[in-house]
Amino acid sequence: MSGVFGIRASGVLLHPTSLPGGPIGDLGPAAHQFVDWLADAGQAYWQILPLVAVDEGGSPYNGLSAVAGNPFLVSLDALVQDCLLEEGDVASELAGEPLHFGRVSRWKGERLRLAHRNLDEGANPGLAAELKVYRAANAGWLADYALFRAIRDAHQGALWTEWEPELRDREPAAMRRATRDLAEEIEFREFEQFLFDRQWGALRAYAHSRGVRVIGDIPIFVAHDSADVWAHRQLFELDHAGRPLVVAGVPPDYFSDTGQRWGNPLFRWDTAAERIYEWWAERFRRTLSWVDVVRVDHFRGFESYWEIPATEETAVHGRWRKGPGADLFKALHRQLGPIPIVAEDLGLITREVEALRAELDLPGMRVVQFGFDGVPANPHLPENYPRQSVVYTGTHDNDTLAGWWGKASKEERGEVWRRIGRRCADPHWLLVELVLGSLADLAIVPVQDVLGMGSEARMNTPGTTSANWTWRLGPDELTPDAGRRLRRATQRSGRLVRGAAVVGAA
């Protein structure tokens, strides 16, 4: 743990899409104001979900690319400052409405295209020169991504396995023809990525100046409908037409009789390991250009993963397959040096998974909501947290603390009261204080739990497909009073970090 954090600290979980203002949260003024709020509240970390480009479903865990940023997050206000848009261009009838990724995609896409045309027409020559340098510096991943998006758009969003065989299979003549015919759209997609990286880089630098570091997220699997799988078919278990032969998921358990069939294609660890390691190195290199610490989602899948035949409709009929284990992380270390990683080791965790995490000396995760089942040895009880861990009141997949409390059993509530020692009107806050006061080096609290919000503020409900990823902070909900309350609790728990004495600081 000392190699990752080395201090006792805390942070807040909030994905940028949930920031207030406009039809979707972005990297503009509200994001900078949130950084100020974090710093004033004594927080050393801002944890986010994956920053990748998403489809109209909005899930950052089902991205159109593992390395391209989400253009929905580009601040149009910043483009006004760049002389690429005018004030009247950024007003939106969608502001204040519930987040709808399809409508946001259409509305924001029109404005970004206008900004691109203005740049082409000479609105900001200096920025045009920066874009040219950016394209050259990022050509390795950017060319595949931009071409994938251009072809996908030309096919009205159809899955790449449904394209003409010569495009599906990336035949050289077809690729040259598509690159020529779709040049304008390719340039636009490159422009979007340039804007994202430029604005995110400025926001991250501002966070660093306020003593705040960013914890990002890498899902173990990637979406089938992605530039990664289309451009690197040889790394995945696919048939001759690019369709998955087997897919990812988890087996039946206490929570589901049929398990979870996620549908992601699986890596060919047994026949293409070295090439997969190279791909993962590029993925980490790109992610580390965005964040300071990486949470690796579904860490247990690197030890063993559940393989489901693609023809199966549920996860019942699958089998465990061995993952790459420590070999992948050793290969990453050889190429990139030490990487600050948090292992998401929730769910069905075996001794082998625990041994892998220990071998790699990575901190794992604990979630207080999972702790109160009456079992004294439950690893999610605050008194059982090891120092080398990152503890949460909840993650993006959990209900909020207040929502959980409203549904908690009498026995669970009794376990909480016994540890707190008294009853009160806002038990969610005492649970926050319980987590902050634990032995664990790092404690993370979703902003919903700081504010005591109910289930209506939940970010995601696993196993469902509607109303996820759309929650937004209201414009006046993140108050100075809430920040002062969090700062006092942070200070009492010995987690107040001054200056930039955190990961990555000079």
Tell me the two tokens of residue 461.
């409900």
Burial of 210 (0-12, 13-18, 19+ CB in 10 A): middle
Helix or strand or coil: residue 153? helix
Q: Which residue out of 77, 89, 397, 412 is catalytically annotated?
A: 397
Nearest Cα to 203, choosing from 446, 33, 14? 33
Burial of 339 (0-12, 13-18, 19+ CB in 10 A): buried
Q: Which residue out of 344, 345, 441, 449 is catalytically annotated?
A: 344
Instruction: Look up 110 and say whether it is catalytic.
Output: no
What are the two backbone dihedrals, phi and then psi, of residue 75, each rounded to the nearest 5 degrees?
Answer: -80, 120
Nearest Cα to 390, choosing from 449, 447, 443, 353? 443
> Helix (H) and strand (E) counts for the chain?
17, 12
Nearest Cα to 224, choosing from 285, 332, 312, 148? 148
d(CA 143, CA 146): 5
Instruction: Look up 297 and say whether it is catalytic.
Output: yes
d(CA 453, CA 403): 7
The identity of residue 487, as a single letter, is R
**Local structure of residue 15 (DSSP, 8 states):** -
Question: Do 190 and 137 meet the contact criterion of CB atoms below 8 Å apart?
Answer: no
Q: Which residue out of 297, 303, 441, 449 is catalytically annotated?
A: 297
The identity of residue 29, as a single letter, is P
Burial of 173 (0-12, 13-18, 19+ CB in 10 A): exposed
Instruction: Look up 397 and say whether it is catalytic.
Output: yes
Burial of 294 (0-12, 13-18, 19+ CB in 10 A): buried
Question: Do 281 and 331 meet the contact criterion of CB atoms below 8 Å apart?
Answer: yes
Tell me the catalytic residues. 297, 344, 397
